[in-house]
Amino acid sequence: NDLKEVNTIFQYIQHYSRYTKDPWGVELLHSPEVSLRLIREDGFAALDCDDYTVLGLSLVKVLGYKVALKVVSTQSNRKFHHVYGLVNVYDQWYPFDAIRREKPLGWESERITRQAVMKI
């Protein structure tokens, strides 16, 4: 079951990582290899939204799924401030935003004021 396979990866990332912001004024990017090494060595990885996205989309893309990036704003000023993935399973795009542990695969905010999608 493809959806179950994608969801297993989604839950793995949720379980073995926690959200953290980058240091002020610095944009840090973790490669999938670095994130997986942190999980293996430390038991978890501290990631921000772009790190979650790079890790999640890399893992599902290597299994053959089509993926895309989605950048959004949920603010009234409409400035982009969050990024997450989209994964195509059975010709349907599922949001892949693992930063909130209580939210399932397929969840996304209803308060989006601006968005852009880039298939990769």
pLDDT digits (tens, 9 = 90+) for 27-49: 888 999 999 999 999 999 999 99
Instruction: Tell me the CB-side half-sphere exposure of residue 7, using CA atoms within 13 A.
Output: 9
Instruction: Please report the pLDDT score of residue 27 as a whole number.
Output: 84
Query: Are the C-beta atoms of residues 74 and 114 closer than 8 Å to each other?
Result: no
63 versus 22: the higher-pLDDT residue is 63
Instruction: Please report the pLDDT score of residue 28 as a whole number.
Output: 84
Instruction: Please report the pLDDT score of residue 23 as a whole number.
Output: 85
**Quick one: 117 exposed, middle or buried, by C-beta within 10 A (0-12, 13-18, 19+)?**
exposed
Strand partners, 3: none
* C-alpha–C-alpha distance, residues 16 and 44, integer Å: 5
User: What confidence tens digit (pLDDT) does each residue in 89-111 have?
Assistant: 999 999 999 999 999 999 999 99
